[in-house]
Chains A and B, each alone.
Chain A
Amino acid sequence: MIEIFDLNLIKRAFIVVSLIAPLAPLFGVFLILRRYAFFADTLAHVGFLALAISLFLDINSLLVLILLSMAVSVSAEHLRSKGKLPAEGSLSFFLYAGVALSVLFITFAGKTGSVMSILFGSLSTVTREDVYLILVGSLICMAFLLKYHKQMLNLCIDEELAHAGGVRLPILKLTFAVTVALCISISMKTMGALLIGALMIIPPLSAMQLTKSLRSTVVLSIVYSVCSSYMGIFLSYYSGIPLGASISLILIGIFILSFLVKLFR
């Protein structure tokens, strides 16, 4: 048991999940409230494309990931707000475009072996430099949530009510789109493109089965997220299952338990 903590990659994994695990479900709560959970999936698949481009060009993947995710996030929000495309339609477009182009870049990069870690996360892909970037990214995301959580809640309750309350909707929506993209980008290497949505959406969804207030939903979803992330590191290390998949499996277990408790209490 002790030797696991001597490994640098495990130390890094613990640092990274300590940063992203409390953050992801906070964004997830707002995404669920806005009926925008699919947004996380779309950005994750665009992240897959960013990682594929990085492989192809052999450049810093996290930076490409952050920039591309932000660009798509802002574009999708813009198309939704202006009503130029149906919300689900624009998200689907970016999702499929992301996957198709990713396959193209990975094929030409000739590194198909990296696909597993891109899709499902890995303990070993997070570098020392990545940890610093993730730290800065998570601080930015936290600052956004601290400053705008009340305005975000109003936006989620009803856009017109938020407007009447003096919330500047276009700026808030844009800032939210950018910070969600940032949160997904910094979580992607750990959780994987296919499973980052799980860390954002399943903890609040599980908490909502048992809670009667938003405050308790937020607290419980952070507890679920952090616990399953730490347990996921051990599961991944000892079983060889990719990290994102390990965390997601534990989260799914928590959801089923919460659902059953709600059903039978």
Chain B
Amino acid sequence: MVTENFKFIEFIKPLIKISHVNYSTNGVTILEDINFEVSKGCYLGIIGPNGAGKTTLLRLILGIIKPSKGEIFIEGLKPEEYLKREPIGYLPQRISQTIYEVPINVEELVRSGLEKVKKECIDWAIDLFKISHIRKKSLRELSGGERQKAFLARAIVSKPSILLLDEPTTGIDPNARDDLLAILETLNRDFGISILVVTHDIATFAHESKCILCLNKRMVCLGEPQRILKDEYMKMLYPEHTVFHHKL
């Protein structure tokens, strides 16, 4: 178990600072002593087994839930204060099924991600995910992968500084996954959007992300993929697993 304070320095100013955060609910500890910083322009992959607290970490960063102990700052502000200033692009793991029972089309969904409607932003987000051909289609008519792209387009339409994605490759085919990875790279490199991705798709994101955080209720390790994705760390995360296929 790695115990030193983690500090991933890419630029100078920390974008997100997570300071000795614990989170418990109903007497069960979900996260314990999470302590790290990420900087502007980061591309962080968060990996770990089921129940490791990955989604909880994203929800803490968003301020949806509050830490039991410790503090979280985004650009020096508490999450709720930061959200008053700027939205955070977010793709949750699951979307309520109700939305697929009513006629909302792709363009309306993407538009809902903007406070003030700017047609050029909507067109940009829709074109980026190559979903122009379905922009007038109702969500209930779409496949799982198309819905995922529509929600991703919604997440980035306001060109947020921070993008949090929870299992973004779920339900999309390998071609669409490659497209998604290329788009995320563009958003990170060309638009300077900081990206935090929760994923089980270690092999894919090992190539894409600049940094990997291994989580299993506590922080197991944090660093560049080349350093982190070694069998010794992977065995800590997935002790039942013996063969790892994430060669860099």
A residues bordering B, Cβ < 8 Å?
A: 32-35, 150, 153-154, 156-161, 163-166, 208, 211-217
Asked whether, in the complex, the Cβ of B108 is within 8 Å of the Cβ of A213, the reply is yes
Q: What residues on B are CB-neighbors of A216 within 8 Å?
A: 103
Residues B102 and A214 in contact, CB atoms below 8 Å apart: yes
**A207: nearest residue on chain B (CB-CB)?**
B103
- Excluding A150-B115, A157-B104, 4 further A-B contacts by CB distance (< 8 Å) are A161-B92, A164-B88, A212-B103, A214-B108
> For the complex, is B98 an interface residue (Cβ under 8 Å from A)?
yes
Do B92 and A158 have beta carbons less than 8 Å apart? yes
A interface footprint on B51-90 (CB within 8 Å = 1, 0 otherwise): 0000000010011100000000000000000011011111
Complex contacts, A166 vs chain B, CB 8 Å = 83-84, 86-87, 115
Interface string of B90-105 (1 = CB under 8 A from A): 1010011011001111
What count of chain B residues pass the 8 Å CB interface test?
33
Q: Which residues of A contact B90 (CB under 8 A)?
A: 160-161, 164
Q: Is the CB of B62 within 8 A of A163?
A: yes
Among the listed B64, B98, B107, which residue makes an inter-chain contact with A160, where contact means beta carbons less than 8 Å apart? Answer: B64
Q: Determine the chain B residues whose CB is within 8 A of the CB of A217 once the complex forms.
A: 102-103
Are B103 and A208 in contact, with the CB atoms below 8 A? yes
CB neighbours (8 Å) of B137 from chain A are 212
Of B62, B112, B158, most A-chain CB atoms within 10 Å: B112
Query: Given A153-B112, A158-B92, A158-B96 in contact, is the A211-B103 Cβ separation under 8 Å?
Result: yes
Contact call A213/B105, Cβ cutoff below 8 A: yes
Q: Is there contact, CB below 8 Å, between A213 and B99?
A: no
A159 to B164, CA, bound (A): 15
Q: In the complex, which residues of chain B have a beta carbon less than 8 angstroms from the beta carbon of A214? A: 102-105, 108
**Cα A35 to Cα B84 with chains together (Å):** 28
For B95, give the chain A residue with the smallest CB separation: A158
B113 within 8 A of A: yes
What A residues does B89 contact at CB under 8 A? 164
Please tell me if the beta carbons of B92 and A160 are within 8 angstroms of each other in the complex: yes
Question: Quick one: given A163-B63, A213-B136, are A33 and B105 in contact (CB under 8 Å)?
Answer: no
**Chain A residues with CB under 8 A of B63:** 163
Give the 4 A-B residue pairs with the shortest CB-CB distance, closest first.
A164-B90, A213-B105, A212-B138, A166-B83
Return chain A residues, CB-CB under 8 Å to B64.
Answer: 160, 163
Q: Does B44 make an interface contact (CB < 8 A)?
A: no
Q: Restricting to B103-130, which residues have a CB under 8 Å from any CB of A?
A: 103-105, 107-109, 112-113, 115
Q: What residues of A have a CB within 8 angstroms of the CB of B136 in the complex? A: 212-213
Choose among B62, B108, B115 the residue that contacts A215 (Cβ–Cβ < 8 A): B108
Q: B92: which A residues are within 8 A, CB to CB?
A: 158, 160-161
Please report the C-alpha to C-alpha distance between residue A32 and residue B96 in the assembled complex, in whole angstroms.
Answer: 13
Considering only residues 134-166 of chain B, those with a C-beta below 8 Å from chain A are 136-138, 141, 154, 158, 164
- Complex: how many Å from CA A33 to CA B100? 10
Check A150–B112 contact: CB distance below 8 A.
yes
Residues of B within 8 A of A150 (CB): 112, 115
Q: A165 near B113 (CB under 8 angstroms)?
A: yes
